[in-house]
Amino acid sequence: MKILITGENGQLGRALQQLAPAWAETNAIDADDCDFTEESMLRARLTVEAPDVILNAAAYTAVDKAEDNEDLARAINAVAVAVMVEAMAETGGRVVHVSTDFVFDGTASRPYRPDDARNPLSAYGRTKAEGEDHLRDEDLLVRTAWVYEAGGTNFVRTMIRLMNEREELAVVADQVGAPTWATGLARTIWALLEQHATGTFHHCDDGAISWHEFAVAIAEEAHALGLVARIPVIRPITTAQYPTLAQRPAYSLLDCSATRAFLGEAPVPWRANLRLMLEEEARLG
């Protein structure tokens, strides 16, 4: 089966390539290979690649910048998805598309289920929701949140850098969700594809925490591995005390129970995966 992975150099794109099963004949592209904002260029590249499945891990993820660049975000997060779906419709192929907790408004009192109503608060969330709307019944949508990976650009590695530079940090404590190790997400995507899953699924690591709690755990685990020389003071603050251009959902926990039931897998605690990622980060030096 010919699989085209988009977002080759992103955290998830790299993990998907590293974990590709033997039955998958993979190729990967990124913005350096094809401008996803140029519809004709993207269509031509998809014609050349002629995949059976597109694993779309490419996205415009600069949440705050998207507020001033919504058209650019839409071109990558929505219009490009439409082009991929049209190309697969012509050849009988499928699209596996990765989306985000930001399509929800964060006002729920329980984890968001795959079929819950969406109400994005930001330009990033809106464009990702628009991308979802282009998918067909035979395609696969996987939503996730708070993604991180060794060697990537993410909250975990940013915290480690800041912890080695400062004696005190302030981290938002009133936004709740669940982290996601990209390696685990990639395994789930491959497993869903192998099981011919269609429709919408959620994947995050197990548990519910705030960004502040996540930062504290990062400090403790990174210090134990020698990635942080000393654990700094980590103060909890409110979202109001850390204003950003884009409004973020206060509660973005995703209900992943249907995904685990479909695959027959037990949930993996977020802290266990954090430790595995940091061990890999230590090996990378």
Return the pLDDT at 32. Answer: 87
Return the pLDDT at 33. Answer: 87
**Residues 78 and 59: beta-carbon distance below 8 Å:** no
Which residue ranges form the domains of the chain, and what is each CATH number? 2-153+178-206+253-269 (3.40.50.720)
**67-105 per-position pLDDT tens digit:** 999 999 999 999 999 999 999 999 999 999 999 999 999
Q: Which of 102, 112, 111, 109 is nearest to 60 (CA)?
A: 102
**Mean pLDDT confidence for 210-221:** 98
How deeply is 62 buried, as exposed, middle or buried, from its count of CB atoms within 10 A (0-12, 13-18, 19+)?
A: middle
**Mean pLDDT confidence for 163-177:** 96
Return the pLDDT at 224. Answer: 96
**Mean pLDDT confidence for 270-283:** 96
**48-74 per-position pLDDT tens digit:** 999 999 999 999 999 999 999 999 999
State the CB neighbour count (10 A cutoff) for residue 230: 9
Place of tokens 């708070």: 146
**110-139 per-position pLDDT tens digit:** 999 999 999 999 999 999 999 999 999 999
Return the pLDDT at 46. Answer: 95
Please, what is the average pLDDT of the chain?
96
* Tokens describing residue 114: 């795959």
Share of the chain above pLDDT 70, in %: 100
Enzyme catalytic residues = 124
